[in-house]
Amino acid sequence: MSRRRRNKEADLFEFVGKMVLFGVVMLALVIGGIGGFAKVLSSIFVLIFWVLGAVLVGGLGYLVYRLYRAKAMEDAHFNEAVSSPIRNVTPSYRAAAVPPRVEPVWNQRRIEEALGEIDWYQFEKFCAALLRSEGFSVERKGGAQPDGGVDLIATKNGEPMLVQCKHWKTWVVQEKVIRELLGSMTHYQVKRGSLYVLKGATRPAEAFATHHGIDIVTGQTLSSRASDRLADSELTSLLSSREHHCPKCESPMVWRTGDFTPFWGCSTYPRCRGMLKHSGAR
Mean pLDDT in residue range 155-182: 92
Q: Does the structure show a pLDDT above 70 at 241?
A: no
Q: Does the structure show a pLDDT above 50 at 82?
A: no
Higher pLDDT pick, 238 / 244:
238
Mean pLDDT lowest among 68-72, 111-115, 148-152, 170-174: 68-72
Per residue in 179-237, pLDDT (tens digit) is: 999 999 999 999 999 999 998 899 999 999 999 999 999 999 999 999 999 999 999 98
pLDDT confidence bin for 85, thresholds 50/70/90: very low
Strand bridging mode 253-258 / 214-217: unpaired
Mean pLDDT in residue range 158-187: 91
Asked if 175 contacts 208 with a C-beta cutoff of 8 angstroms, the reply is yes
Mean pLDDT lowest among 80-84, 97-101, 267-271: 80-84
Q: What are phi and psi of 193, to 5 degrees?
A: -145, 145
- Tell me the C-alpha distance between 112 and 127, whole Å: 13
- Tell me the C-alpha distance between 208 and 133, whole Å: 29
Per residue in 17-33, pLDDT (tens digit) is: 677 777 767 766 667 66
Fold held by 108-241: Trna Endonuclease; Chain: A, domain 1 (3.40.1350)
Q: Does the structure show a pLDDT above 70 at 5?
A: no
Higher pLDDT pick, 142 / 96:
142
- Interaxial angle between packed helices 120-133 and 232-239, expressed in degrees from 0 to 180 and rounded to the nearest 10: 160
* Cis before 146 (ω within 30): no
The 10 Å CB-count burial string (b at 16+, else e) for 53-80 is eeeeeeeeeeeeeeeeeeeeeeeebbee
Query: In which element (H, E) is residue 140 found?
Result: strand 137-140
Query: In which element (H, E) is residue 74 found?
Result: helix 37-76
Q: Is 175 left (phi over 0), alpha (psi -120 to 50) or beta?
A: alpha
Q: Does the structure show a pLDDT above 70 at 174?
A: yes
Residue 165 CA, chain-centre distance (Å), reads 17
Cα–Cα nearest to 91, from 79, 100, 99:
79
Strand pairing partners for 195?
A: 164, 216
Report the amino acid identity of residue 281.
A
Compute the C-alpha angle 147/153/156, nearest 5°. Answer: 175
* Predicted local distance difference test score (pLDDT) of residue 69: 67
Q: Is 158 left (phi over 0), alpha (psi -120 to 50) or beta?
A: left
Mean pLDDT in residue range 83-94: 43
Counting Cβ atoms within 10 Å, is residue 37 exposed (0-12), middle (13-18) or buried (19+)? middle
DSSP letter (8 states) at residue 134? T
